[in-house]
């Protein structure tokens, strides 16, 4: 959003309505200045001074008016507050007093949405909204500049938050809308003003707040009042009838010949084969998952993309990239080879029935079991309803959790637990309770049922690299606050996630960054940028070193190249012409060689650079350089020379392009030289919580943990060598643990013979003998009660990766990026 939208809203809505309004008494800000609107005062330190509007909301637990003065101190200069609140006389602030600040906020963002004039698809339904949205973005992103709601921003507050980040450059917006009470949807419809719609599902969620199912449907359909077309499953026949009565075109998918997209699917192992017909043509698709809910969401997303205009032939390869989102139906392998089906998101009777069907479809003769929590709106008699759902599905053991299931304890084969905690304790005591069984875990997010999944799957886990996304978000907040406090006003964070997020999971990291409104991420090569686009990342992506043969792909996926030679620039222009690009100037970034002598224009090429920034075919977004040794105080003189060289080039270029943005500092440079921060700071390894220099009180948290488990224990007599070469003998008997990890998994071989160590039960266990290709032996003689299956931390919370890398005489970057993909990646949190 920009300040112009605020002024349009004040002129068109606030002043005519008679709402009290205080204009600023000092020099006004230009209309095109960006304006970030938030109701969360914790977000304010991460935005630029004077470019924030704060909406004070009264909630059940907190009153935003208690934080208004804090918001002003943190840089907010625009406010929407309740009309019974008095504020200090701030001469440089604009304030609107409103009877309902949330409604006023919604009206404000509608002004912005109208100014952008971006075609908008609104998605609603009892479940599946976020999944359909994310998958639709994945389908459309390569060919369309799509903006979408972050995560599940679909409430009365979430929708205006989402729309506030819409931009003029976007060709399509996809916005979620969710309601839990009657009369909420008209407010969201007025805020979004959708041109097109998607109805995912109509279930029992929130039904207790409505008079009937018909009333719930009518409230949801209010979102589509002004839509030209709406997409939905053909099973929602009554909704289709109601919309068509109102003159709205409805497209459906289903098995009947009357469906717009006619589909038939077959479960094949862990996937599905789909035969589809669209506009009279047959297509074959493969889905990388088999569960019914995911299949339905995929078909809804596919039909919406087809109606929008996507070539049907592009759907098949895109489907192969689809991944189940957090909290949706997921499959986890247990140590006995059987599956845990986890669904802590779609919590109603319809979703429960589908999940039970998915469990029943798992082939083989293994027994089947389920753990089920409370379902909204249920009553004591609903145990019989569950009986009806599981009847004939071969489910022998059922654990119920929650007071509403108490009467179910009388059912044969059923066990009742009052809380998730008590069920966890039972799993811990009865390790074989679900041995040899496929298990469905179904319950509300509020009860943290994912802990049950972890308890069922943690024993015997393979070696894994764990990505802690909550720690990542913590580090992002800490680094942004450091930049705000120590760097010149206006500097922003540019996140570097090259090498697939330093060997972890770049799409998962990028989703967190996109949610927290990081404006720009950088990757090493075009292929890494394409990976992010295929996973639905719509934010701006800078490619640091694109090769000439990938420029056409770079353009197709709307990536922003670094230009470091004149020949490379001309190649880009030629490629743009060949691909028929005749739109806005293509965004590029110029690399300057300030002394590292790796890539970049020489300062001697200044005249050519001046000519380049004037070229109409491209728009120079930033000019940047790279420090060779920012983390080494002994090289500070050379670092200062690099900074001076770079700043002289930037100054010369700004004489011809005054608002040209720049950046030279990496994480180490930011911590040691924050006073020379440009418009951006490139933060990479710091986001991972890895400290290459003193962090000045940042208290960064480790984002990556390398874990395994003990596969065997054995006793070695005194004076016996171990492993290859019979090395590392000791004068006393020892108990050794063998770990299923070796140098083929990224555990360096030079940590052999006591140089390396791991952590077991909170204690250090040193490596014994040679590190093998697939195994490591460690001494656990002094660790009491150690047993096979115990968790082992190679690095993470106890032994930080910095110390692990130092012992291996290398750097954390190398340790992370050398862990191969045969090591399972696991993400937790966020």
Give the catalytic positions in this structure: 498, 724
CA 413, distance to chain mean position in Å, is: 40
Give the containing element (helix H, strand E) for 38.
strand 36-38
What is the C-alpha separation between 240 and 249, in angstroms, rounded?
9
Beta strands in 692-804 (DSSP E): 704-709, 712-716, 734-739, 757-760, 763-768, 776-779, 791-795
d(CA 806, CA 814): 11
Q: Which residues of 17-43 are buried (b: 16+ CB within 10 A; e: fewer)?
A: eebeeeebeeeebeeeeebbbbbebeb
Pairing of β 367-372 and β 712-716: unpaired
**What is the per-residue burial (b if ≥16 Cβ within 10 Å, else e) of 178-200?**
bbeeeebbebbbebbbbbbbbbb
The DSSP code for 63 is B
Nearest to 134 by CA among 167, 189, 176: 176
CA 422 to chain centre: 32
3-class state of residue 561 by DSSP: strand
- The 3-class SS string of 185-234 reads HHHHHHHHCCCEEEECCCCCCCHHHCCCHHHHHHHHHHHHCCCCEEEEEC
- Beta strand extents in 535-689 (DSSP E only): 540-543, 560-563, 586-591, 618-624, 661-663, 680-683
Could you give the 3-state DSSP secondary structure of residue 506? helix
For residue 278, the cross-strand partners are 261, 281
Pairwise CA distance, residues 402 & 160, whole Å: 35
Residues 541, 571 contacting (CB under 8 angstroms):
no
Nearest C-alpha neighbor of 122 from the set 183, 213, 170, 190: 190
Structure tokens at 661: 């943005």
Q: What is the DSSP letter of 496?
A: E
Q: What 3-state class would DSSP assign to 156?
A: coil
652 — phi, psi (to 5°)? -65, -40
Residues 6+ apart with CB under 8 A from 263: 253, 254, 255, 274, 275, 276, 277, 299
Are 124 and 184 in contact, with CB atoms under 8 Å apart? no
- Does residue 41 contact residue 74 with C-beta atoms inside 8 Å? yes
Among all chains, which residue has been given the structure tokens 């880009």?
A: 572
d(CA 676, CA 655): 19
At 175 the three-state DSSP class reads strand
SS3 (DSSP) at 682: strand
Degrees, nearest 5: CA angle 653-662-43: 145
Counting Cβ atoms within 10 Å, is residue 796 exposed (0-12), middle (13-18) or buried (19+)? buried
């Amino acid at each position: 959003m920009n300040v112009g939208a605020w002024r349009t809203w004040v002129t068109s809505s606030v002043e005519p309505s008679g709402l009290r309004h205080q204009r600023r008494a000092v020099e006004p800000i230009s209309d095109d200045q960006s304006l970030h609107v938030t109701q969360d005062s914790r977000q304010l330190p991460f935005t630029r001074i004077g470019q924030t509007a704060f909406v004070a909301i009264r909630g059940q637990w907190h009153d935003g008016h208690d934080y208004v003065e804090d918001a002003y101190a943190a840089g907010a200069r625009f406010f929407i507050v309740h009309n019974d609140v008095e504020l200090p006389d701030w001469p440089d602030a604009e304030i609107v007093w409103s009877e309902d600040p949330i409604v006023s906020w919604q009206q404000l963002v509608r002004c912005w949405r109208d100014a952008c004039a971006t075609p908008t698809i609104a998605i609603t339904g009892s479940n599946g909204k976020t999944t359909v949205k994310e998958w639709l973005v994945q389908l459309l992103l390569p060919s369309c500049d799509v903006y979408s709601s972050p995560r599940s921003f679909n409430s009365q507050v979430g929708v205006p938050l989402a729309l506030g980040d819409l931009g003029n450059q976007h060709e399509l917006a996809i916005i979620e809308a969710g309601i839990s009470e009657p009369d909420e949807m008209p407010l969201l419809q007025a805020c979004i003003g959708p041109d097109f719609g998607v109805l995912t599902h109509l279930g029992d969620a929130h039904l207790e707040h409505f008079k009937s199912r018909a009333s719930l449907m009518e409230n949801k359909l209010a979102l589509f009042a002004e839509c030209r077309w709406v997409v939905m499953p053909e099973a929602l026949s009554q909704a289709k009838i109601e919309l068509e009565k109102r003159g709205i075109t409805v497209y459906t998918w289903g098995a009947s010949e009357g469906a717009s997209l006619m589909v038939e699917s077959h479960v094949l192992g862990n996937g599905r084969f789909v035969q589809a017909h669209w506009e009279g043509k047959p297509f074959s698709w493969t889905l990388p998952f088999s569960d019914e809910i995911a299949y339905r969401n995929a078909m809804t997303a596919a039909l919406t993309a087809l109606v929008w205009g996507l070539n049907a032939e592009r759907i098949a390869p895109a489907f192969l990239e689809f991944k189940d989102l957090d909290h949706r139906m997921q499959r986890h392998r247990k140590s006995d080879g059987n599956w845990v089906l986890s669904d802590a998101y779609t919590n109603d009777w319809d979703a429960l029935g589908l999940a039970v069907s998915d469990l029943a479809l798992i082939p083989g003769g293994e027994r089947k079991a389920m753990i089920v929590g409370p379902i909204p709106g249920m009553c004591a008699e609903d145990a019989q309803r569950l009986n009806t759902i599981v009847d004939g599905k071969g489910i022998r053991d059922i654990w119920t959790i929650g007071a509403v299931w108490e009467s179910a304890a009388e059912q044969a084969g059923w066990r009742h637990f009052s809380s998730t905690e008590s069920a966890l304790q039972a799993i811990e005591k009865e390790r074989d309770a679900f041995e040899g069984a496929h298990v469905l875990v179904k319950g509300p997010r509020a009860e943290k049922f994912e802990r049950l999944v972890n308890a069922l799957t943690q024993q015997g886990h393979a070696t894994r690299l764990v990505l802690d996304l909550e720690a990542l978000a913590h580090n992002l907040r800490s680094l942004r606050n450091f930049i705000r406090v120590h760097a010149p006003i206006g500097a922003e964070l540019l996140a570097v996630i090259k090498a697939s997020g330093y060997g972890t999971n770049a799409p998962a990291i990028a989703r967190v960054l996109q949610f927290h409104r990081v404006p720009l991420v950088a990757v090493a090569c075009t292929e890494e940028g394409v990976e992010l686009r295929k996973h639905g990342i719509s934010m701006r992506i800078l490619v640091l070193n694109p090769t000439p043969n990938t420029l056409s792909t770079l353009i197709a996926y709307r990536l922003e190249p670094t230009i470091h030679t004149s020949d490379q620039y001309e190649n880009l222009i030629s490629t743009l012409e060949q691909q028929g690009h005749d739109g806005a100037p293509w965004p590029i970034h110029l690399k300057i060689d300030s002394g590292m002598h790796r890539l970049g224009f020489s300062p001697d090429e200044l005249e050519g650079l001046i000519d380049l920034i004037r070229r109409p075919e491209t728009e120079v977004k930033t000019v940047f350089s790279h420090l060779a040794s920012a983390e080494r105080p002994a090289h500070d003189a050379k670092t200062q020379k690099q900074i001076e060289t770079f700043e002289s080039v930037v100054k010369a270029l700004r004489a011809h392009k005054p608002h040209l943005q720049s950046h030279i500092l990496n994480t180490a440079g930011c911590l040691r030289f924050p006073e020379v921060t440009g418009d951006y700071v490139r933060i990479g390894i710091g986001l991972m919580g890895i400290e290459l220099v003193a962090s000045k009180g940042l208290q960064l948290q480790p984002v990556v943990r390398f874990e395994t488990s003990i596969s065997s224990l054995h006793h070695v007599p005194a004076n016996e060598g171990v492993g290859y070469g019979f090395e590392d003998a000791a004068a006393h008997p020892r108990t050794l643990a063998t770990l299923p990890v070796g140098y083929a998994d990224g555990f360096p071989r030079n940590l052999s013979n006591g140089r390396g160590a791991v952590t077991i039960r909170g204690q250090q266990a040193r490596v014994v003998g040679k590190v093998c290709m697939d195994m490591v032996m460690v001494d656990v003689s002094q660790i009491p009660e150690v047993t096979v299956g115990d968790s082992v931390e190679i690095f993470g919370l106890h032994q930080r990766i910095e110390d692990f890398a130092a012992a291996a005489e290398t750097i954390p970057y190398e340790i992370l990026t050398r862990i191969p993909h045969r090591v399972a990646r696991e993400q937790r949190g966020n």
